[in-house]
Amino acid sequence: MDILKERILQEGRALSETVLKVDSFLNHGVDARLMYDIGTYFKEYYKNHGITKIFTIESSGIAPTVMTAMQMELPMVTLKKQSSKILNGDVYQTTVHSFTKGSDYELTLSKKYISPEDNILVIDDFLANGEAALGAIRLIEEAGAKVGGIGIVIEKSFQPGRAILDEKGYDVYSLARIGKLGKGIIEFI
Ligand code: G4P
């Protein structure tokens, strides 16, 4: 997606060889017009995949996912990050480790918002190690539903997430794929 890549080159800052800061349009400031255009791309790619619902993970995945859900006219669900286990039978939960943040959280989905007939598109802002996406997949599959695709705004292709999801056979579509980061270096593949 060329306009996204241009924004990354203009406004993104590589903080290290692994972390890209895009606070001006995705993670802090949010460019709603760009989010709308991102929704157009996800709709175009996934429109014939029989998707029934779109899931995301709080919080930066919400903006691009709202725009996609609106354009695909599908229900959206935000998976919550709880700090501890909920001890009743009303939710599915799985522990996710964030390598970037060095902490764990309980990814949580109320049983009300999924059924075995669902075919779910998962959208997130970044794909790094794939831990968040794999957590979402575990919840969906535990509910007996299908993962219809994984839509990513910015993929860091040099980290393991993409390869892991490909190897497991999921249909991953990333709008910008970064091959290399470094001081003053942002390269796409
Ligand atoms: P993973 O799910 O692919 O394994 O990624 P990881 O745990 O390493 O990422 C943890 C958090 O850091 C996620 O946000 C992810 O979006 C974000 N992240 C990972 N790499 C980058 C990066 O290079 N730049 C930026 N800006 N963010 C990155 P989160 O904890 O879910 O927070 P939120 O922003 O969605 O609230």
Task: Say how far residue 178 (Cα) sits from the centre of its chain.
Answer: 15
Does the pLDDT of residue 123 top 90, yes or no? yes
- Distance (angstroms) between ligand 1 centre and the Cα of 175 equals 16
- Phi/psi for 116 (5° steps) reads -60, -20
Query: Does the CB atom of residue 19 touch ligand 1 within 6 A?
Result: yes
CATH of the domain at 27: 3.40.50.2020
What pLDDT, on a 0 to 100 scale, did the predictor assign at position 89? 86
- Check if the beta carbon of residue 22 is closer than 8 Å to that of residue 176: no
Task: Report the DSSP pairing between strands 91-98 and 103-110.
Answer: antiparallel
In short, whether 101's Cβ falls inside 6 Å of ligand 1 is yes
Q: Report whether residue 27 contacts ligand 1, using a CB cutoff of 6 Å.
A: yes
In terms of residue numbers, what domain contains 8? Answer: 2-188
Please, are residues 139 and 81 in contact by the beta-carbon 8 Å criterion?
no
Q: How many domains does the chain have?
A: 1
d(CA 51, CA 118): 8
With a 6 Å cutoff on the Cβ, whether 148 touches ligand 1 is no
Minimum CA distance residue for ligand 1 atom 5: 128
pLDDT digits (tens, 9 = 90+) for 8-56: 999 999 999 999 999 999 999 999 999 999 999 999 999 999 999 999 9
Q: Which two tokens stand for residue 85?
A: 């286990």
User: pLDDT tens across 80-101, in order?
Assistant: 999 999 888 899 999 999 988 8
E strands in the chain: 13-14, 20-21, 53-57, 76-82, 91-98, 103-110, 119-127, 146-156, 172-182, 185-188
Task: Encode pLDDT of 46-79 as tens digits.
Answer: 999 999 999 999 999 999 999 999 999 999 999 9
